[in-house]
Amino acid sequence: SSGLCFFWGIPSSSIWLKSLLQGGPIFRGQTSKGALPGEFPETPEPAADASAENPEAYNNVSIFTPISERDGQYFGALHTAEGEMVEFPIRPFMGLMGVASDTSEPVHSVPPAIYGGNLDINELGAGSTLYLPVEVAGALFYTGDPHAAQGDGEVALTALEHSMHPTFHLTVLKPGDKGLPVSGHIAHPMAETKDYWIAIGLNKDLDEA
């Protein structure tokens, strides 16, 4: 239900999420980090006066970035521990874009791989193209983790989180198709913008990638 609340219930301007308390497993018998199988962890009391309006007052919190408009430009705003407001020009993009991996093994959700995934490439906004090798029938494209701005790649970690309703145009390119950026078939993800070709470094160790 919290996912639906995020997607449908949080508009993208001038609304702060007051608080979000995350517990343990939703279904009895399932496990989550820090919880024993078949048991619900005891829910801690909320921190006093904890809210997204004052995130620096208590440890770690994820909030949706407030967006402001000035002279036709849009900015994300963050509060500092000193009570100042820092603004960043926004460059919206989807951090998570990929296709299904041809494996029966669990797929890690943090480092991206041949199938795409948690790429976090800030150049892949509107008008860009991402090429992904298809490993299973139907490709099974998925997306998520919308960001208003971020550094270069998942290794940058911190991003301006935001809600979005993206629109994608999906095209199937078969071997020999003139739309392929390489001869033969695509064996490795790559991307294209109006200015650049983007080679994507991959490794389970993000520092190595």
Give the start-to-end residue ranges of the domains of the chain.
1-90, 91-209
pLDDT for 67? 84
The whole-number pLDDT of residue 32 equals 44
- Strand runs labelled E in 113-195: 116-117, 129-131, 142-150, 159-161, 190-192
Q: In the prediction, which pLDDT does 164 show?
A: 86
Architecture of the 91-209 domain: Sandwich (2.60)
Number of other residues whose CB lies within 10 A of the CB of residue 99: 20
Which amino acid is present at 83? G
What pLDDT, on a 0 to 100 scale, did the predictor assign at position 122? 92
Q: Is residue 97 exposed (0-12), middle (13-18) or buried (19+ Cβ within 10 Å)?
A: buried
Q: Which residues of the chain have pLDDT under 70?
A: 1-63
* Confidence (pLDDT) at 72: 86
Task: Say how far apart CA 123 and CA 152 lie, in whole Å.
Answer: 9
Burial group, residue 132, by CB count within 10 angstroms (0-12, 13-18, 19+): buried
Q: What is the pLDDT of residue 132?
A: 92
Q: Model's pTM, two decimal places?
A: 0.68
Run of H or E including 3: helix 2-9
Per-residue confidence (pLDDT) for residue 114, from 0 to 100? 92
pLDDT for position 165? 87
